[in-house]
Structure formats: C-alpha cells, structure tokens
Amino acid sequence: MQYVVVEFDSDAEAEAFVTTINGSEGSSGSMRCIGQYKKPSMFCECPEKDDPDRKVTRGAKWGILVHKGCGKPYSGMWQGPKNLLIPDEHIGRRQFMFSSVEPRQ
C-alpha cells in the first residue's frame, strides 16, 4: 500500500481532484482519496497587546487552530488540522496525521 500527498494552490482545484478520484472507477477498487487537509493561507495580524493571553479555538470549517478574536491562525503555530473527508466504509476509522508550521511573519 502506498500514499501520495498532492499539494494544490487552489481550493477549487483540490475539491475537483477529490471529487474526480472518489467518483472514478478506481474508487471502488484500488484507488480512493482518504484524506484532505487545509493549510492556512491568511494569518492573525492583531497586536499582541490586544489579547495578551493569545486565546485560540478550533475553526469549525477547516479544523485549524485560530485566534478567537479575528478567526485567523497565528503564524509559527504548529497545526494538526482534521481530515476534511468523512470516513466511509472504505476508509473506516483510520486516522492520518498531517501537520504544518508556517514561519512567523
């Protein structure tokens, strides 16, 4: 068994790719998309003095840890976003961890 990670610059292209893979003949046999994750592209620019505790919450849509005040992730924060694909009978409950750290700006 092998896994391939593909990076897209466009969210729309990524969605189309997953739809194509999971809707293809191979999805019922030897090929299926089992994980889709979102990497942050916009970051919190709030002055630290406005929120000295730097409170975070997990975003509902992407599962990324974000600043409670502005809803954007902090740069330099380790991220372990959730798998955006809901497990099905092919995937079961297998978990795959994907994480990223964006450099501080």
Question: CB burial class (10 A; 0-12, 13-18, 19+) of residue 79?
Answer: buried
Residue with the bigger pLDDT between 93 and 52: it is: 52
pLDDT band at residue 24 under the 50/70/90 scheme? low
Give the pLDDT of residue 13. 92
Determine the average pLDDT of the residues in 9-18: 89
Closest Cα partner for 42 from 18, 59, 29, 55?
59
Kindly tell me if the per-residue pLDDT of 90 is higher than 50. Answer: yes
Residue with the bigger pLDDT between 91 and 82: it is: 82
Are residues 83 and 22 in contact, defined by beta-carbon separation less than 8 angstroms? no
Domains in the chain: boundaries: 1-37+84-98, 40-82
Determine the average pLDDT of the residues in 62-89: 77
Point out which residues pair with 79 in neighbouring strands: 100
Q: Is residue 66 helix, strand or coil?
A: strand
